[in-house]
């Protein structure tokens, strides 16, 4: 079954390329490229690079040996470990649930959808200290959820007493209802999930909104199961946005301070996050030490973000190369 | 495989798109659904594919006399080519074509060697064998169109459904590709339905044309029949240029329609014969093989005439000259009051 037809040469659209600043013949959308470029570089330098350099400079006031001593202090390493463990866990939880939330908000119509959609931005707007206080009053031992077991027991027994019976429940009978992680790592993870959720939702949502369902129909017409459609057609499309959302959520969690200190027990070496260590050092006027911890925090964050981005571009290449 | 649909209706809310459609397509036929936008042709195609469900109370969609109305899109074994191709952007040409094979459940999935062989033979069929590694963004419109076709063919569909297959292409590529499609169809003999709003395309390529208007099929028949014996004024008007003569001839209150090439121009009244009318050459539009002459009649209305270039040379018409014109054939229709 062969036949040949001579097809005319049609122009193929060239892939868009980043414009070199040295080639200036293309039309300009924003006039005065050198000006805007210069402004951008100045702005980035003044607001981001300069403070970071100052931070590094401050840390560099210490001798290398002293620097090592500060950052290898068990209290500091414990706080760094806690920060990165809690942030990673929170980012992973947000990765899954943020994606689901974005999906549901875009794909389904339900009562008060727009209200829920607006609520997603709350963690952005709410001062994180307020969020921390709220979570603490809910989840700590004497909070509504934190002390749920004893509260229910007291309630049931009071009702029984009112009805004329003796105490029905042993005071510890419902302790399993008590939120078991008060003041521990789980509490920190919960606030970090709260703080980081909008990043994932708000990065994935626009991509899903723009998504043309025709691709799904095409995949289904080729016999693909819903799972295959998601895995091979939809997911690759939202992957870059999703990854950057997760990375943002992670980065936000690493730097989070206000909400965490209200829910964590803040015991040095046990439940103290790295930013709190920095604040503690500052309170002691140990500026260089604080800067040293800050530098380590930054370096690890940078590394993690680089790895995440690397993984993303690797997976893209891999998907493309898979023949 | 034969396709038969009976009494299919489809509405979106208050808006009725398809009205009691019946259609029967023989095995191996290439059928065009032709109509203006909003005539329901794409919706009909999507109902046949199983992308859309017909309204409750509609008749069945039969594939080889088996009712497939309740069969899911993925299980109908149809190949659907979308108007904008819907190629997977993150997959290269090879993987796009292989998609349907790889998506099969594990038990039915061919092995890797088989997939490669199959995809390669399809790429050779669409003459893109050397572009397997390209991504859709690196292809021209016509190439994308062919990849979409190969992707649909990979799963060995029982029927091939194409939605405005050449709609997004330039005129030259369109012409080329539709001939290619015809030859492809003659090679693989899959029952094929394609949707188009271009009469030339429908008439040139298909075995039978279903002309649609307002959610109904106005006429269904071979291209020549549809063109030469239009069943309604709508079909006549939709299939090409025409001159309208209100209430002329015997059918009072009706309208007579005449194609511009069915009008003959003469220099003298005697040669023009009985019933010839005088006219003045108002405009000459030179269009290569066909010359379009606009005549102004005594009642100041305009008549479009198309004459072949040699005839035009022989007549040697000039603007403002008085001539006579006669109608070779004409079709009369009662006024239809359907809007």
**Lowest mean pLDDT, pick from A22-36, A227-241, B251-265:** A22-36
Distance CA B88, CA A211 (A): 12
- List of chain A residues whose C-beta atoms are within 8 Å of the C-beta of residue B80: 217-218, 221
In chain A, the residue whose alpha carbon lies closest to the alpha carbon of B134 is A320
Please state whether beta strands B208-213 and B216-221 pair in parallel, antiparallel, or not at all (unpaired): antiparallel
Say yes or no for a CB contact (<8 Å) between A221 and B137: no
**Interface with A, mutate which of B50, B79, B88 (most A CBs under 10 A):** B88
Q: What is the mean pLDDT of residues B146-164?
A: 93
Tell me which residues of chain B, numbers 216 to 255, contact chain A at a CB-CB cutoff of 8 Å.
none
Question: For residue B173, what pLDDT band results from cuts at 50, 70 and 90?
Answer: confident
Burial status of residue B77 (CB atoms within 10 A of its CB: 0-12, 13-18, 19 or more): middle
A236 alpha-carbon distance from chain centroid: 20
Say yes or no for a CB contact (<8 Å) between B100 and A233: no
Are A94 and A204 in contact by the 8 Å Cβ rule? The answer is no
- Return the half-sphere exposure (C-beta side, CA atoms, 13 A cut-off) of residue B260: 19
Say yes or no for a CB contact (<8 Å) between A221 and B135: no
* CA-based nearest distance A211→chain B, Å: 11
In chain A, the residue whose alpha carbon lies closest to the alpha carbon of B97 is A222
Say yes or no for a CB contact (<8 Å) between B187 and A228: no
Q: Out of A12, A217, A233, whose CB is closest to B139?
A: A12
Q: What is the pLDDT of residues B207-252, one digit of tens each?
A: 999 999 999 999 999 999 999 999 998 999 999 888 888 655 444 5
**Lowest mean pLDDT, pick from A51-65, A210-224, B247-261:** B247-261
In chain A, the residue whose alpha carbon lies closest to the alpha carbon of B153 is A222
- Return the half-sphere exposure (C-beta side, CA atoms, 13 A cut-off) of residue B291: 20
**Of all residues in chain B, what percent carry a pLDDT higher than 70?**
96
pLDDT at residue number A183? 53
In chain A, the residue whose alpha carbon lies closest to the alpha carbon of B124 is A2
The residue among B49, B55, B66 whose CA lies nearest residue B15 is B55
pLDDT at residue number B51? 93
pLDDT at residue number A158? 84
B339 has a pLDDT exceeding 50? no
- List of chain A residues whose C-beta atoms are within 8 Å of the C-beta of residue B78: 221
Are B60 and B141 in contact by the 8 Å Cβ rule? The answer is no
In chain B, how long is the greatest CA-to-CA distance?
80
Question: For residue B286, what pLDDT band results from cuts at 50, 70 and 90?
Answer: confident
The residue among A247, A245, A1, A87 whose CA lies nearest residue B188 is A1
Are A289 and A76 in contact by the 8 Å Cβ rule? The answer is no
Assign a CATH topology to domain B3-238.
Answer: Rossmann fold (3.40.50)
Question: For residue B102, what pLDDT band results from cuts at 50, 70 and 90?
Answer: very high
What's the CATH number for B260-333? Answer: 2.40.50.140
A145 has a pLDDT exceeding 60? yes
Say yes or no for a CB contact (<8 Å) between B73 and A236: no
Domains in chain A, start-ordered, CATH in brackets? 55-124+183-321 (1.10.3720.10), 141-181 (no CATH)
Q: Which residues of A82-97 are buried (b: 16+ CB within 10 A; e: fewer)?
A: bbbebbbbbbebbbee
Whether residue B109 lies within 8 A of chain A, CB to CB, comes out as: no
Strands in B243-246's sheet, in edge-to-edge order, are: B243-246, B255-258, B331-333
The residue among B171, B181, B258, B222 whose CA lies nearest residue B34 is B222
pLDDT at residue number B17? 92
The residue among B157, B155, B3, B24 whose CA lies nearest residue B68 is B3
ipTM: 0.83
**Of all residues in chain B, what percent carry a pLDDT higher than 90?**
55
**Lowest mean pLDDT, pick from A61-70, A182-191, B74-83, B162-171:** A182-191
Residues of chain B with CATH 2.40.50.140: 260-333
pLDDT at residue number B225? 94
Say yes or no for a CB contact (<8 Å) between B127 and A5: yes
Across A32-36, A223-227, B244-248, B285-289, the highest mean pLDDT is recorded for A223-227
A206 has a pLDDT exceeding 60? yes
Beta-ladder partners of B78: B159
- List of chain B residues whose C-beta atoms are within 8 Å of the C-beta of residue A213: none
Residues of chain B with CATH 3.40.50.300: 3-238
pLDDT at residue number A323? 39
Q: Please give the backbone phi and psi of residue B205, each rounded to the nearest 5 degrees, phi first.
A: -90, -35
Over chain B, what is the mean pLDDT? 89
pLDDT at residue number A159? 85
* CA-based nearest distance A223→chain B, Å: 4
In chain A, the residue whose alpha carbon lies closest to the alpha carbon of B120 is A323
A2 has a pLDDT exceeding 70? no
More confident of the two residues A20 and B285: B285
B154 has a pLDDT exceeding 50? yes
Alpha helices in chain B (DSSP H): 41-49, 93-102, 112-125, 141-154, 171-188, 199-205, 223-228, 233-239, 269-272, 309-315
């Amino acid at each position: 079954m062969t036949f040949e037809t001579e097809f005319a040469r049609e122009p193929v659209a060239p892939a868009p390329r980043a414009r070199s600043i040295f080639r200036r013949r293309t039309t300009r959308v924003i006039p005065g490229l050198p000006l805007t470029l210069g402004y951008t570089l100045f702005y980035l330098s003044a607001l981001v690079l300069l403070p970071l350099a100052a931070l590094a400079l401050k840390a560099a006031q210490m001798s290398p040996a002293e620097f090592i001593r500060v950052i290898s202090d068990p209290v500091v390493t414990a706080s760094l470990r806690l920060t990165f463990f809690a942030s990673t866990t929170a980012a992973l939880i947000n990765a899954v649930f943020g994606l689901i939330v974005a999906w549901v908000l875009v794909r389904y119509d339900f009562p008060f959808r727009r209200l829920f959609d607006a609520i997603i931005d709350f963690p952005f707007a709410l001062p994180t200290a307020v969020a921390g206080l709220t979570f603490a009053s809910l989840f700590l031992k004497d909070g509504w959820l934190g002390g749920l077991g004893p509260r229910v027991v007291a309630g049931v027994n009071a009702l029984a007493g009112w009805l004329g019976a003796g105490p029905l429940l042993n005071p510890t009978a419902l302790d399993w209802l008590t939120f078991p992680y008060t003041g521990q790592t789980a509490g920190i993870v919960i606030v970090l999930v709260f703080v980081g959720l909008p990043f994932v939702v708000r990065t994935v949502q626009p991509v899903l909104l723009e998504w043309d369902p025709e691709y799904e129909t095409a995949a289904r017409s080729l016999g693909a199961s819903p799972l295959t459609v998601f895995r091979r057609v939809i997911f690759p499309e939202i992957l870059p946005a999703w990854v950057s959302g997760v990375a943002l959520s992670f980065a936000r969690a690493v730097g989070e301070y206000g909400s965490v200190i209200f829910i964590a027990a803040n015991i040095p070496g046990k439940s103290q996050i790295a930013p709190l260590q920095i604040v503690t050092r500052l309170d002691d006027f140990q500026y260089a030490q604080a800067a040293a911890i800050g530098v380590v925090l930054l370096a690890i964050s940078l590394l993690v973000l680089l790895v995440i981005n690397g993984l993303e571009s690797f997976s893209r290449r891999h998907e493309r190369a898979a023949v | 495989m034969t396709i038969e649909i009976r009494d299919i209706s489809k509405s979106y809310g208050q808006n009725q798109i398809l009205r009691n459609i019946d259609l029967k397509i023989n095995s191996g036929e290439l059928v065009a659904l032709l109509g203006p936008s909003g005539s329901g042709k794409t919706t009909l195609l999507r109902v046949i594919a199983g992308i859309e469900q017909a309204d409750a109370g509609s008749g069945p969609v039969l594939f080889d006399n088996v009712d497939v109305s309740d069969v899911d899109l993925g299980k109908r074994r149809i190949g659907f080519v979308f108007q904008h191709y819907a190629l997977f952007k993150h997959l290269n040409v090879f993987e796009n074509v292989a998609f349907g094979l790889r998506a099969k459940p594990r038990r039915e999935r061919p092995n890797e060697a088989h997939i490669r062989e199959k995809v390669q033979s399809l790429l050779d069929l669409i003459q893109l064998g050397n572009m397997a590694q390209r991504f859709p963004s690196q292809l021209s419109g016509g190439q994308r169109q062919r990849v979409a076709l190969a992707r649909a063919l990979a799963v060995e569909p029982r029927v091939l459904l194409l939605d405005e297959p050449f709609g997004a292409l330039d005129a030259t590529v369109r012409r080329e590709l539709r001939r290619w499609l015809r030859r492809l169809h003659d090679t693989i003999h899959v029952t094929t339905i394609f949707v188009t709003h271009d009469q030339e395309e429908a008439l040139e390529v298909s075995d039978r044309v279903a002309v649609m208007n307002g959610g109904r099929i106005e006429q269904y028949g071979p291209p020549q029949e549809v063109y030469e014996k239009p069943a309604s004024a709508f079909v006549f008007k939709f299939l090409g240029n025409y001159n309208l003569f209100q209430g002329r001839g015997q059918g009072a209150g009706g309208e007579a329609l005449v194609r511009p090439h069915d009008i003959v121009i003469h220099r003298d009244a005697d040669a023009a014969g009985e019933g010839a009318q005088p006219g003045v050459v108002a405009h000459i539009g030179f269009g290569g093989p066909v010359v379009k002459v606009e005549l102004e009649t005594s009642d100041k209305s305009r008549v479009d005439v198309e004459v072949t270039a040699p005839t035009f040379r022989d007549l040697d018409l000039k603007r403002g000259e008085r001539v006579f014109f006669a109608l070779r054939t004409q079709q009369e229709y009662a006024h239809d009051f359907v809007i």
